Amino acid sequence: MPNRPFFRRWRKKLNRRAGRVLLREAARPAIAYPENLPVSQKKQEILEAVRDHQVVIVAGETGSGKTTQLPKICMELGRGVKGLIGHTQPRRLAARTVANRIAEELQTEPGGCIGYKVRFSDHVSDNTMVKLMTDGILLAEIQQDRLLMQYDTIIIDEAHERSLNIDFLLGYLRELLPRRPDLKIIITSATIDPERFSRHFNNAPIIEVSGRTYPVEVRYRPIVEDADDTERDQLQAIFDAVDELGRESPGDILIFMSGEREIRDTADALNKLNLRHTEVLPLYARLSNSEQNRRVPGPQRAADSAGHQRRGNLADRAGHQVRYRSRHRAYQPLQLPDQSTAPAD
């Protein structure tokens, strides 16, 4: 037979796929949900929506638990066996830490049932069911796997950030759905206009998750008097806020800046203050994994200067760098627009 080599390769591929299915079924852990998370209260509603619809929009505040619990809900539905549950994050640090957190909750090791893949680091095995990755990784995989056949479920997290990668993925997935009726899509967003995502996916159902794991108190530093013509120095505003919090109950402090240079400058300035029982830890994407994973021991306080990797704000200015597309220029300039309330929370 002229096509005998083809059928031999095809049979070998089927056998490998069947072997992966058996490995994943054998490795599936017992699934439990932390009762204190708001998303756990909506578990049954989310489960039924994912079961009955091809696309589901989950809208909830930061801290509601949707990022860590949605993959487990998909696993409970039997997803992640015949194909992977792909779970995208905007940044590498988030992909890695979310994978570690889910693995910890399921009492498994990262790289096993829960894996992750980021640039220069691939921790996905044959028995992996949930694959955390950056949205850029998923985009790169589309070049080789146009139908995304290795996945049976895709979760696009933090869709409200509306980056170029996320927008491209949302458009591509909408066109892919008719060709992959078995594929489930979950879009998660803050409470910023989830109806827009629903309309994009032909009026997909929206499930709103209210509440946070921890309460958030918002304070504003005193406004500079109008008579003062000099612009308030940002570093001094940070020093004032750190001093105020330092006189209260012990705890870590997160300071969010717009980029690596600003983070380094702020960390250097805080170190010069020689704050008592305080270790200043800059945090940004180019740090090594070991540096990013550092944890501060008990009695010390940590003043953490971070970029987009973690959420929150402590300063009199809330901004973030955005790369804009320009039709008239041959480059993509970085600008500092005002920050919206939801990402700052």
pLDDT the model gives residue 303? 59
Greatest mean pLDDT among 180-194, 250-264, 276-290, 306-320 lies in 180-194
pLDDT class of 144 with cuts at 50, 70, 90: very high
CATH number of 234-344: 3.40.50.300
Average pLDDT over residues 288-312: 55
Q: Let me know: does 210 contact 60? Beta carbons within 8 Å.
A: yes
201 SS3 class: coil
Q: What are the start and end residues of each CATH 3.40.50.300 domain in the chain?
A: 4-209, 234-344
Backbone angles phi, psi at 206, to 5 degrees: -115, 130
Distance (Å, whole) CA 309 – CA 68: 16
Mean pLDDT over residues 165-179, rounded?
Answer: 96
* 200-249: pLDDT as tens digits: 999 999 999 987 777 778 887 776 655 454 456 788 888 888 888 888 87
Kindly state which CATH superfamily the domain 4-209 is placed in: P-loop containing nucleotide triphosphate hydrolases (3.40.50.300)
Secondary structure (3-state) at 17: helix
Top-confidence residue, 264 or 313: 264
Q: 162 to each of 77, 103, 110, 307, how far by Cα in Å? A: 29, 28, 29, 17
Lowest pLDDT segment from 40-49, 269-278, 299-308: 299-308
Q: Tell me if residue 132 falls in helix, strand or coil.
A: strand
Neighbour count for residue 231 (Cβ, 10 Å): 7
Summarised one tens digit per residue, pLDDT across range 55-67 is 999 998 888 899 9
Give the containing element (helix H, strand E) for 92. Answer: helix 92-105
276 pLDDT tier (thresholds 50, 70, 90) = confident
Which of 22-26, 28-32, 226-230, 326-330 has the largest mean confidence? Answer: 28-32
**Predicted pLDDT of residue 340:** 55
pLDDT at 338: 56
Whole-number Å distance between alpha carbons of 284 and 61: 24
